[in-house]
Structure 1
Amino acid sequence: MNRRALLLGAGAAGLVAALPRAAAADGSTLHGRAFGTRWRVVLASASEPDLRHEIEAILDAVDGSMNPFRPLSEISRFNRSQAAGWHGVSQPFAHVAGAALDCAAETAGAFDPTVGPAANRFGFGPIEGTRVGAFRELAAGSGAIHKSDGSLSLDLCAIAKGYAVDRVAAHLADRGHADFLVEIGGDLRASGRSPAGRPWQLGIEDPLRGGVAHLVRLDAEALATSGDAVNSYTLAGRRYGHLIDPATARPVANDVASVSVIAPDATRADALATALLVMGPERGLAFANARAIPALFLLREKETLVSRANAPFAARLLT
């Protein structure tokens, strides 16, 4: 898999998958590839003949709008434009940009959708430019995005995959499905019960050794995991991951291997997982505790992996 595929699949959130356990034989599973990674939908009942194509159309639409590697995507056109002021965009694009800017404000810039140029300078991503950490100079309205300086750019890779999960989940609900699991590259959203008739049980991957580090229960909510186990490189003895700390405009330098977050929707879980990883375990857990956000940090300590979960996340852990 090339770096372009890794970036599309991982985004700013990392390709550290939280993997659903196998479905029971009386359920049905649809799967495919999107965003340079794998997607999967597990249903407790049989799927309709056209459902797979409908899901693929949703994923293609999100990719065609928010993929910075596609020169004709909405985000690429917005980033190329040097005009200050309001830019007309589709309502979904404006919605995701607004969610990204809201999370940036909530996290005091730990999550920042203007880090694209910094990621590019370290070999991650196609977004060129000089302005980083300038999310306050962007605004999202109804079908439009405003930039005060034409050199500003947007990078939605750390939130678009979660949004795609939510779009697929909403479509399944509209189709009359109450019991399902949607996964795209480690971002998940669950509804109802698994085909076995119990709450969904999901495995959070061990980013150092592979396999499952923890088993967690998910009830009508979303789970996202951020990490750099796949998308990183080592140069002159130093490891560089694709996750950028907006405060330094450099790859994050801490001992966090991955962060998992549970939230009501995958859009928010995706963005918060990135923000908490940037914050690090002390500040990140304090932030999560103050807002009752379920969070799990997996930390590298020498050759071992240390888990730190706050009480809301620990209440959902099975192992």
Structure 2
Amino acid sequence: MDGLRYAVVGALLAILAGCDKGESLEAFGGPTMGSTYSIKYVRTPGTPAASDVQPQAESILGEVDRQMSTYRSDSDIERFNDLPANSCQPMPEPILHLVRTGEQLSQASGGAFDLTVEPLLNLWGFGPQARQVKVPDPMALVQARQRVGHQHLRIEAGQLCKDAAVQVDFNSIAAGYTVDRIAGRLEQLGIHRYLVEVTGELKAAGRKPDGTPWRVALEEPRDDQQVAERIIAVDGFGVSTSGDYRNYFQQDGRRYSHTLDARSGAPITHHLASVTVLDPSALMADGLSTLLLVLGPEEGWDYAEKHRIAAFFVMREGDAFVTRSNKAFEQLTPVKP
């Protein structure tokens, strides 16, 4: 769902013919959340065809859109966002689950990660209600920051409540959550070898019919062309890349990214261009990649090491890029460049 972040992770996959075990590679996809989704899985005797699986996947996509989209006024979260301070609204459990996850990430990052940054996104020109893309007036920024902060949210008896006029934006975690939901549904259907991708967030499990792993290309964080920075094999993990490229503006010779640090109320200014995270949960990979990107090349690296997060960092160095990956990442990614 993260249309703001354009966290691009390209899947390098070959459509394979059926093998002598009665296995075949099924594939389908389509538009969703302002972007696309794609699902590939190994069909074995007794498992459903793509024509039966696709409606179930799209039902999940539709549910997430109705509940969490900030680009439709009738979604559950946008109706909540329209409420004034000191209001409550009954919410479906998936939204409450994501709010709890957001609170966990916010507290762990000292407030750098925050789900309530929508007023700031709109002010800087990156949100669903943005008027123009420019550096905001300092007074307007002060006023917007008064409406930001996870501490203004609370959950009471199935209701989401707020004590300030905050607005929740799930774009940093909703796509990963959706990937987990679809992967879980495939498992329920007896499908255990698959690659699920939603707006760039993905999860892969098992191997393809020929026995080779699912291979994923991590893109160099460029806004002019697509170049594979590294190719990795993935089995049993969610993969998320967050970057400051493709959605930014320049003013007075300075670059302003769509990725905001909730602590300052402004776009990040460090030289960390993208972060890829692997985690058993695509939801957590999604949120953690954003968290590390906001924290930056030093603080983010230390956080990943402390919490044993498998992370791959790409930093700008002049007109080039330099990469850095930790031991946890290398242990999970046997395919080399």
Correspondence for 1:297: 313
**Structure 1 position 83, deviation (Å):** 4.5
The question of whether the paired residues in 2 share the 8 Å contact of 1:18 and 1:187 is answered with no
Correspondence for 1:4: none
Q: How many residue pairs end up in the alignment?
A: 310
Say which SS state the counterpart of residue 155 (structure 1) adopts.
coil
Correspondence for 2:252: 236
- Give the Cα separation in 1 of the matches to 2:210 and 2:122: 45
Correspondence for 1:212: 228
- The sequence identity of aligned pairs, in percent, is 33
- Give the 3 Å change call, closer, same or farther, for CA 220–181 of structure 1 in structure 2: same
**The one of 11, 22, 33 aligned to 1:19:** 11
Say which SS state the counterpart of residue 305 (structure 1) adopts.
strand
- Give the Cα separation in 2 of the matches to 1:20 and 1:81: 44
- 2:24 is aligned with 1:10: no
Say which SS state the counterpart of residue 51 (structure 2) adopts.
coil
- 2:211 is aligned with 1:197: yes
TM-score, normalised via structure 2 length = 0.87
Say which SS state the counterpart of residue 58 (structure 2) adopts.
helix
- Give the 3 Å change call, closer, same or farther, for CA 204–159 of structure 1 in structure 2: same
- Give the 3 Å change call, closer, same or farther, for CA 142–107 of structure 1 in structure 2: farther
- 2:36 is aligned with 1:29: no
* Structure 2 spans left out of the alignment, 5+ residues: 19-24, 131-142
Correspondence for 2:135: none
**Structure 1 position 202, deviation (Å):** 1.1
Q: Deviations over 1:244-271 (max 9, x none)?
A: 1111111111112211001111111111
Tell me the amino acid that sits aligned with residue 10 of structure 1: G
Q: Deviations over 1:179-205 (max 9, x none)?
A: 001011221111222233233221101
* Structure 1 spans left out of the alignment, 5+ residues: 1-7
Tell me the amino acid that sits aligned with residue 149 of structure 2: A
- Give the Cα separation in 2 of the matches to 1:96 and 1:23: 34
Correspondence for 1:162: 176
Tell me the amino acid that sits aligned with residue 161 of structure 2: H
- Give the Cα separation in 1 of the matches to 2:147 and 2:80: 16
Correspondence for 2:186: 172
Q: Deviations over 1:30-52 (max 9, x none)?
A: 11111111111111127342211
Say which SS state the counterpart of residue 297 (structure 1) adopts.
strand
**The one of 152, 155, 167 aligned to 1:137:** 152
Q: Deviations over 1:26-71 (max 9, x none)?
A: 3111111111111111111273422112211111110111111111
**Structure 1 position 9, deviation (Å):** 4.6
Alignment RMSD (CA, Å)? 1.9
- Give the Cα separation in 2 of the matches to 1:132 and 1:165: 30
Correspondence for 1:116: 118
- Give the 3 Å change call, closer, same or farther, for CA 160–195 of structure 1 in structure 2: same
The question of whether the paired residues in 1 share the 8 Å contact of 2:176 and 2:201 is answered with yes
TM-score, normalised via structure 1 length = 0.91
- Give the Cα separation in 1 of the matches to 2:334 and 2:110: 29
Say which SS state the counterpart of residue 275 (structure 1) adopts.
helix
- Give the Cα separation in 2 of the matches to 1:18 and 1:238: 29
